[in-house]
A and B are shown apart, each in its own frame.
Chain A
Amino acid sequence: MTSILFIEQLLNGIQFGTMLFLMSAGLTLIFGVMGLINLAHGSFYMIGAFCAALVAGITGSFWLALGASLCGAAIAGVLIEILIIRRLYRRDHLDQVLATFALILLLSEGVRWYFGAFPLYLSIPDSLNGTVPIFSEIIYSKYRLFIILMGFLIAVGLYLLITKTRLGIRIRAGQNDREMISALGVDISKLYTVVFALGAALAGLSGAMIGAIQSVEVGMGEPILILAFVVIVIGGIGSIKGAFVGSILVGVTDTLGRVFLPDLLKIFMQPAEATAIGSSIGSMLIYILMALILITKPSGLFGKS
């Protein structure tokens, strides 16, 4: 029984981790290439989810909704990059933090203005409803399995994009030496816009996919934004590989910690106390993990020191 529960929760952790990866991949790319801390990344998560809910409401199709989340967030990303973000690349981190924090206020309130304060709902398509047997007696939600698959597919796609394509070469070159590649005739400001839009689109997609399990509401991007920060700090800022390892690590630690820590503490504690202490430590676990990693490796697992 416990082992079934364990595998189920492990899968939940991986599912959470893959969604975290979609967020943190964009965040880490944007930081790696443009040197920008983008607190407003969570807003694209929210925008993606709202676009999906809107399109699903009109057309009734989940797949069109997913497409809408990608496009909507990418368009928002392009607009915001051209209007505001572009002016921040040369500024120091403090200005970037504040401007993107202000952007969160602007976008969250804007969405609340337009859509109202009530959460919207996005339903899972029938073909992904229900459960599917994995091993002999373990059954698991089809939709969550779909999320894991999507996450891994996108991770592979991103890997191919970065290592095999011309755009990927430019992105990597941009990470290493901005001035050199603009001297070689690459339109650097267009490249920045493309990278920003790519990051925004990935965030939007993950917002839509998570929005179907939870609800679509203003402020939904903030908790996951901060987790994505934890991920890229653990993985090393600028490293996609680090973002992937960090995401799975954080997703699994968080999920398993919350579920099993109270039970674990019950072995040598009063049940009521164990539940209280276990759940509060469980919710702090990833931050403790991050502190431990930073103490041993101040620039993260895969970061350049």
Chain B
Amino acid sequence: MIIEKFINKWILFLLLIIPLCGLVFEEPYYITLTTKVIILAIAGIGLNLALGYCGLISFGHAAFFGTGGYVTGILSFHALNDELLFSWPIEFLGTSEMLIIWPIAILVCAALSFIIGLLSLRTSGVYFIMITLAFAQMLYFFSISWPTYGGEDGLSIYVRNSFPMVNTMDPFTFYLICLVWLVITLFVSFKLINSAFGMAFQAIKENEERVKSVGIETLKVKLIVFVISGTIAGLAGSLYTDLNRFVSPSVLDWHTSGEIMIFVILGGMARLYGPIVGAAFFIILEQTLGAYTENWQFWLGLILILEILYVRSGILGLFDKKKNNE
């Protein structure tokens, strides 16, 4: 545990120091890379709540990540082109203010995860895995065949959305915004996990029947966790669109769902900092292996298989002897 805490501190330290070095040595690339790690980690933190703590194996979090991304893209696309988004009940022109985009993205993703959760949670086990996957695929195909927002080619928004008083196009400023969101989501997860509600959803992972028998409506609990989880992933998607100033159907692709899952598993399931470690490891792997070979995903696949067959506890788990021996 002590070593794990030590590593957690190091990770946070690195997330701070690398962009600062990037700033000092004028290498904005490293700032952007760290920002990417942070955003992917936020998505992972979202999934970790459902997958790691509550045992809901969602293979469709790309649906929320991508929807958050598309909501952001569409809102600023309309604002950019002065095109009405809808004219009823009020005329709405879209917006390029992050402070308006975030609440809308959060609301839309919450509503979406409520609907998907409500339908999917009727099933369990393999059926749940596959139905969440299928819902994400449904949105993926919708995004490809809907021509208004670029279809398969995706949607460019050219300029990052704005935040009062600061210049978001500056990589370091945008990095700070994402960092604040990371801290907020970490804090929310931490509070949730240690609340009475958190005890309930973690108990469901262990034994749902018992939780039911003490009078807790497990379906309701699972649904709430699923909605929170999806909403956090959607928020990450919104930031991701702003990072790239571009959104395409690939954010809704099932590979995205798989990758978010990989962040959680590589880092270590049901560990608060796990997704950050996982996302960081993923990006480091992509950067270092990707520099040597185009087929870096081959090695990623190999590492993952070895992890699952032999290590089983994620990177953080390697340093946690006590939990391993259980």
Contact = CB atoms under 8 A, between A and B. Distances in A.
A103 B57 contact: no
A102 B150 CA distance: 31
Contacts of A295: 119, 122
Contacts of A102: 300-302, 304-305, 308
B295 interface: yes
Contacts, number: 121
A153 interface: no
A226 B135 contact: no
Contacts of B137: 226, 287
A2 B29 CA distance: 58
A76 B141 CA distance: 31
A232 B127 CA distance: 10
A284 B134 contact: no
A295 B129 CA distance: 15
B123 A294 contact: yes
Interface string B130-150: 110111011001101111100
Interface in A255-305: 276, 279-280, 282-284, 287-288, 290-291, 294-295, 298-300
Contact of A279 (B129, B145, B297, B298): B145
A97 interface: yes
Contacts of B254: 222, 226
B308 A37 contact: no
B223 interface: no
B305 A226 contact: no
Contacts of B123: 294, 298-299
A283 B308 CA distance: 35
Nearest to B147: A276
A82 interface: no
Contacts of A147: none
Nearest to B51: A94
A280 B146 contact: yes
Size class of the contact patch on chain B? 35 or more
A229 B57 CA distance: 16
B126 interface: yes
Interface stretch (A57-65, A108-116, A130-138): A108-116
A37 B146 contact: no
A87 interface: yes
B298 to A, nearest CB: 4
Nearest to B120: A294
B138 A93 contact: no
Contacts of A299: 123, 127
B134 A287 contact: yes
A174 B298 CA distance: 34
B119 A280 contact: no
B239 interface: no
Interface in B97-154: 119, 122-123, 125-127, 129-131, 133-135, 137-138, 141-142, 144-148
Given A94-B57, A105-B298, A229-B133, A294 B304 contact: no
Contacts of B258: 101
A112 B295 contact: yes
B301 A103 contact: yes
A80 B129 CA distance: 23
Contacts of A233: 127, 130-131, 134
Contacts of B273: none
B261 A287 contact: no
Nearest to A299: B127
Contacts of A300: 127
A298 B126 contact: no
Contact of B298 (A31, A87, A106, A290): A106
A279 B148 CA distance: 13
A31 B261 CA distance: 22
Contacts of A279: 145
13 contacts: A37-B126, A93-B125, A102-B300, A102-B302, A103-B301, A108-B297, A110-B295, A232-B130, A280-B146, A283-B145, A284-B141, A287-B135, A291-B135
Interface of B: 51, 57, 59, 119, 122-123, 125-127, 129-131, 133-135, 137-138, 141-142, 144-148, 254, 258, 261-262, 265, 295, 297-298, 300-302, 304-305, 308-309, 312
Interface of A: 31, 37, 84, 87-88, 91, 93-95, 97-99, 101-110, 112-113, 222, 226, 229-230, 232-233, 237, 276, 279-280, 282-284, 287-288, 290-291, 294-295, 298-300
